[in-house]
Structure 1
Amino acid sequence: MADMNVDQIDREILPFLSCSARGDVKTIALQYFLGLSGSKDGCDFVASYNKYLSALVSLTKDGDQSVTKDAYLSLVNLSTYEQTAMKILDLHQEVPLDLLKYVLDKESKHTGIVCMLLSNLSRSEQCSRRIFDSILANVDVIGFDKLVDAFCVNQTATLNYLGPFFSNLTQIRDARHYLLDKKNRIMQRLLPFIQYEASLIRRGGIIGAIRNCCFESSYHDWLLSDDVDILPRLLLPLAGPEEFDEEDTTKLPVDLQYLEADKKREADPDVRKMLLESINQLCSSKSGRKYIRDKNAYVILRELHSGEKDPAVLLTAENLISVLISDEPAPGMEDLTKVEIPEEIEEKLRKAHEAQQREVEEETEKLEAEKLEAEKLEAQKLEVQKLEAQKQQNLT
């Protein structure tokens, strides 16, 4: 936090957070607020006063690109916090429209930063709803199809954060239905980004959006059909270089047969977990489970599980494998999304899940501690080697 009080800031700095202020003093004033937004206490302070948030929003329209950049960066920092994100949207209802128009403008200079801001602003379901409503209300200007077109055509780093933005929006059922519209074929356009190696942000964001869409069970048969063929896309990043016997191999989808000896699995554990969660959702119907079993997904998941180190991914894989190898539910209970669970059973399941999560968290903390200790020992080892080398050099 700053060593100034509110009265001082209002008197000495706030007047210069204006597009009409002189350039040099405006830059100094903005740098002050950018510095404040770099800490939790500073963000809380700025967010406590509507006048500061409004001033920063106004400077995103400044004619000086260095000023607009710092204004956007300040808002990126502030919107990290959900309450502040909602406050920005409450104060300035035009913000979603302005930001999305900016992203779609090929002449914009700070598209990457604005995409980060959109990603932050849309994290909560309430904020996502507000932004998606703005998209629907201005479909001719900033329609979802235009955003997807820009994302798919422009594969530079500037639009990578549209991936998490799409993932956030698919918290909203209407957004999921838009991505799943069979006529638009947007899902088919997004699937290749599951394997997008150039950016974890873009790849992870799209996989998150796909995972959310898999909660729409009425679309499962279509997603698994030849029209979309989603299963090989989800399984391929989870597959390693393992060889299977001829019988197992021929049961696999063609894209997963006879993989290269140097085939690598998805490196990021959060992404692996989302891929598994997507397949798990597709198993909620009897037809989905049968299809996934028939495509021999089990052997891919078995090999993934045998070498998995991340506790959260391991638990997710175990849950999915359990569904695939278990007997089918009794007649009338085949659709797992519609099964009514007695309250006492639901409570037991909730407690069991919480216990599992605690175990996962404890195991993750243990692994992190072991990793830090190993890094510390390695650093000490390198330091000793360095000292020995200097000692030998001095002797010679």
Structure 2
Amino acid sequence: MEAQLKELLPFLRDKNPQVRQIALTNLLPQTPQDAPHRNIFFASQSNGLKKAEENAVVRDLKLLCRDQLAVAHDAFKALVNLSDSPLLVSSLSETPFLVFLVSYIINPQSILADLASMLLSNLTASAGACSIVIAMKVKVITSPKVSNGFYATECRSGTCPDPVPYPQGEERNVLALPLLLDAFVQGANVEEINDLSKRPRKGSLHFLASVFANLASSSAGRDFFSTPRPPNFLQSEGNVEFPIAKVISFTEHKNIIRRGGVASTIKNFSFNARAHRALLTPEATSVSIPPSKATAPGVGALPYLLLPLAGPEELDLDVQEKLPETLQFLPPDKIREPDEAIRLILIEILLLLCHTRWGRDYLRGTGVYEILRTAHEVESVEKISEHIERLVQLIQGDEPPASEALNEEEEYDALPTDSLPPETRLIQGLGFPGSGQDLSALAQKQLGISSADEVAEEEEEELVIEPLGAESEDDDDDDKIVEV
């Protein structure tokens, strides 16, 4: 059987598209991790001490991603399945191919943009691909006659036709990440339009959320998300905003891939303690992120972090007044975030924001404790309950002298990841952990890839929250956390 499959490999380069399609259709079932003959895609071409050449099969699959629809669909799918292997990461992460992927994704007319996003998500799990994407520039031609105002010239393929008429003007190189962010925002609700021809974008691009989470796991990625930029690259003058502000609102999106990846992005971004003030400050106030002095409207992230944790419980009027406006008087059918992995990430973000004295004081004054108390009462996952208890202890506990907290923002971003407790570690790799599978596993389940190993959990102290207003022998001890 393996010998017969190997005989199909040369037909991936056949001039007849039907022959290429038949060959790829028969080879595709061997690309998942548990396929019996997957090794045919990993044939080494090294010769002695000579540097190994690029795998011919992988090179053919990369070229077939530009083919007509049926062939390109299977080629993308095959590479998504194969991209979990470290043996192919360097070949798939070459700059020309990554530039094609990004250019293809940002084009609204790309039919297979979602598969390309899955592939980019898997590839950016590696540091090499991350660094390339963060610094990447793509060639575009700006034109008001194109649907989104520009055309990325390096996206040409059979599933991404050139605009008619072709835009006139000179190509210019622009940073790719802002364009990916805009495409991600535009794809948020395209699935609600049943008629594909009427969609502003052909793909929903939910998997870009995990790409952003991967990029934000590096200091260079966090720097990008914390550097004020114009909302539209076509308008370089005028108002600016922090790029992280574009993804904040998706923590309650109906798609689990999107909202989970966004939560992971915010968590990784929160490792820059200097950015906490900008992350929490409401939009009406301008703020800078040291050491830069450039200012932009605050992100106002707290309502988007708390809303998924809030339920339908009725709170006292004096408590309601402390909450952000969007969390006041929630309807009786309000549902908490159903995915336990995402709930855990949201609590971990709040734990990170408690690193600085300013952050703890801000959370105290905005009703965070009340939301956490009601969430703790109905939480069924022990690990999440423990994290909530630790968070409440930080918010409700006594503060050290002010002099000891002066340099908190300066020290935190330099801490090595492996020295931090479990609730404050960067989310690395393809996405967020959850229920025995990570974010990439949602794509892997669809495409036949095995999920990654779960990270071992460390034991933590057991803490208990006393209900707000509970009776106690000492009134001063109400609402405090006590160790058991």
TM-score between both structures, scaled by the size of structure 1:
0.78
Label 1:200 to 1:55 Cα distance change in 2 as closer, same or farther (>3 A).
same
Is residue 298–residue 324 contact of structure 1 (8 Å, CA) maintained in 2?
A: yes
Give secondary structure in 1 for the equivalent of 2:457: helix
Partner residue, 1:316: 387
Which consecutive residues of structure 1, in runs of 5 or more, have no partner in the other structure?
A: 340-345, 361-396
1 CA distance for matches of 2:269 and 2:81?
A: 29
The answer to which of 32-41 and 133-142 deviates more is: 133-142
Relative distance call for 1:51 and 1:311 in structure 2 (3 A) is farther
CA RMSD of aligned residues (A): 2.9
* Structure 1 match to 2:411: 338
Match of 2:253 among 188, 196, 203: 196
Gap regions ≥5 residues in structure 2 = 45-54, 141-171, 192-202, 231-240, 284-298, 413-418, 426-455, 461-484
Query: Deviation digits for residues 333-385 of structure 1, max 9, x if unmatched?
Result: 4228838xxxxxx79x79xx9xx92569xxxxxxxxxxxxxxxxxxxxxxxxx
1:211 pairs, out of 256, 267, 283, with 267
Aligned to 1:170: 216
Give the structure 1 partner of residue 77 of structure 2: 73
Q: Does 1:161 align with 2:207?
A: yes
Looking at structure 2, the residues matched to 43 and 293 of structure 1 have their Cα atoms a distance apart, in angstroms, of: 55
Equivalent of 1:104 in 106, 110, 114: 106
**Does the residue aligned with 1:258 lie in a helix, a strand or coil?**
coil
Structure 2 residue identity aligned to 1:15:
P
- Residues 141, 60 of structure 1: CA spacing in aligned structure 2 closer, same or farther, 3 A cutoff? farther
Cα distance in 2 for residues equivalent to 1:220 and 1:149: 23
Per residue, is there more helix in 1 or in 2? 1
Instruction: Spell out the pairing of 1:277-292 with structure 2 (5 A cutoff).
Output: 277-292=348-363
C-alpha change, 1:60 and 1:316, in structure 2 (3 Å) is: same
Asked whether the 8 Å contact 1:43–1:77 carries over to 2, the reply is: no
The amino acid that maps onto 1:36 is: Q
Deviation at 1:68, TM superposition (A): 1.0
Q: SS in structure 1 opposite 2:102?
A: helix
Output aligned runs, 1:37-116, within 5 Å. Answer: 37-40=31-34, 42-49=37-44, 50-62=55-67, 64-89=68-93, 92-116=94-118
Residues 108 and 136 of structure 1, relative CA distance in 2, 3 Å threshold: closer
Please state how far the C-alpha of 1:260 moved relative to its aligned partner. Answer: 1.4
Deviations 1:287-313 (A, max 9, x none): 110010111201111111121112332
Would you say the 8 A contact 2:136–2:176 is kept in 1? no
Q: Deviations over 1:174-233 (max 9, x none)?
A: 222222223442333222212222x11111112211121111111111222122221122
Aligned partner of 1:170: which letter? A
Partner of 2:17: 23
Does residue 251 in structure 1 map to residue 256 in structure 2?
A: no
Amino acid at match of 2:261: G
Contact 1:100 1:142 survives alignment (8 Å)? no
More strand by share: 2
Which range moves more in the overlay, 112-121 or 245-254? 245-254
Kindly state the Cα deviation for residue 80 of structure 1 after the two structures are TM-superposed: 2.6
| Counterpart Cα distance in 2 of 1:119 and 1:84 | 15
Alpha-carbon separation, structure 2, partners of 1:39 and 1:166? 25
1:190 and 1:267 mapped to 2: Cα distance?
A: 20
The match for 1:4 is 2
Q: Percent identity?
A: 30
Residue equivalent to 1:343:
none
**Cα distance in 1 for residues equivalent to 2:340 and 2:177:** 29
1:235 alignment partner, SS class: helix
1:265-293 Cα distance to aligned partner (Å, 9 max, x none)? 11111111111111111111101100101
One of 301, 304, 329 as aligned partner of 1:230: 301
TM-score (norm 2): 0.64
Match of 2:132 among 130, 133, 148: 130
SS at match of 2:111: coil
Displacement of 1:83 in angstroms is: 4.4
Structure 1 residues 271 and 253, CA gap change in structure 2 (3 angstroms): same
**Does 1:148 find its partner at 2:181?**
yes
Amino acid at match of 1:144: L
Q: Given that residues 65 and 71 in structure 2 are in contact (C-alpha distance below 8 angstroms), is that contact kept between their aligned partners in structure 1?
A: yes
- Matches of 1:213 and 1:142 in 2, distance apart? 20
Higher normalized contact order (CA 8 Å, seq sep 6+, divided by chain length): 2
Q: Distance in 2 between matches of 1:43 and 1:168?
A: 27
Q: 1:124 to 1:206 in 2, by over 3 A?
A: same
The residue correspondences of 1:257-276 to structure 2 (distance < 5 A) are 257-276=328-347
- Relative to structure 1, is the Cα distance of residues 125 and 328 closer, same or farther in structure 2, using a 3 angstrom cutoff? farther
- Aligned-pair CA distance for 1:45: 4.4
Q: Decide whether the 8 Å contact of 2:99 with 2:138 is kept in 1.
A: no
Amino acid at match of 2:457: Q
**Paired residue type of 2:97:** V
How far off its partner does 1:132 sit?
A: 2.1
Deviations 1:23-72 (A, max 9, x none): 3332222123211102335445423441221121121122x221111111
